[in-house]
Structure 1
Amino acid sequence: GAPPVPQLTVDETSWTLRWEASSGARGSIDPSEPGLLPSRPIVPGPAPTTYDVYEVPRNAPADGPLAVPAPVTPAPVGTREFTHANSTLGVERCFYVRPVDIVNGVHVRGPASPTICASFADTFPPSPAGNLDAVAVPAAISLIWEPSPAIDLAGYLVLRGDAGSATLTPLMEAPISELSYRDGSVRSGLRYIYAIVAVDKSGNRSPESNRIEETARP
């Protein structure tokens, strides 16, 4: 029989499909009583059921023949879990699994499970910038920091507040690409606290970098 609906989870770099065994699947039988070891047959039985994972083709022509997709799995897998390390974010993707049994040396594929779909939306915050440092210069405070390693980085927001503030606010609306910033809007003698937030191309914001305080000079 067909396996039940699989479960699909997505993270920033991969997706994982998990499923339950199909009805009638071949496999090892657990001992019926605790403490008993599983028996080993004298004559080898049929090979356990394995599974292929398929992705439903996207953008298939409506008036053309439906192509039979090739399995995503390079070979049928014996476990009921498969992880693929290539996530295409920003689209919806759909998958299903089919059991595979070996009959007289031939791979026989059973009925497909129901299809599971998920939106591969990029909701994952980038890694933060690091080692923020500040130096007071005449009429300004200069900031410098180390980059975020995010591969889809859009830039950085500089956050500022008065010393002792729990909440900091951005000094600009759009992210900047530089790894330094000169804050010329400070007032002499006042102490400020700063942090940096990395922003990716989907608008996700990282946690704050380390916070640092500095007093403005005349």
Structure 2
Amino acid sequence: MGAIYLIRHGQASFGEADYDRLSGVGIEQGAVVGAELLRRTVRFTEARSGSLARQRKTAETVLDWLGVRTPAKEDPRWNEYDHVDIVAHHGGGVPQDAADSRGYQAVLDGALAAWIGAGEDTPCAESWPAFRARVRGALEDLVAVLGKGENAVVFTSGGVIGTLAGHLLGHPETGLLKLNRVTVNCGITKLVAGRSGITLLSFNEHSHFEGRTARLLTYR
């Protein structure tokens, strides 16, 4: 039975002009989760990353800790939904504000719900059904190349992880709207693939951000 480890990227630069850049905390988080995976002595035969800068930098940091010199293979299907586009069309175009992250989160929550409700009729470049299909396709294609007992690691985002976890539990919409909100930066979600299909084994593990590293626990 092979396992897929989904790693949410480190903290991005919320409220700044270049949101997609990892913050200093985000780089530290990547080192901590890299050390955690090293401690588990898991051997990965496949590594994937979305094409977003925050995902690629997290992958680079973690794989360096693991002593893996081959970069993660980029696959844009692991990219996050476009929150700017969704808020523009379903949330009044409210900009990110580092001084009021909770206020922005409330707007985003409402915009995501409206985006899901609109289905294929959304004016956004990517609809909810299209997003859901692409992340499921990315997962299924990854599972298809894993041999017996082989493991893979994927560096992606909270919306992708929440949606896939929700899908495996029977309700992807709840996954995006509820599970996505509690994913921590550089948290670990573990899936297993076997004869009966893909199963969610653990979600959002983050004990590596307790004790001395508790200051690094972030949600955005």
The TM-score range, normalised by the shorter chain, is under 0.3
Q: TM-score, normalised by structure 1?
A: 0.22
Higher share of residues assigned strand: 1
Structure number with higher relative contact order (C-alpha < 8 Å, ≥ 6 residues apart):
2
The higher radius of gyration belongs to: 1
Higher share of residues assigned helix: 2
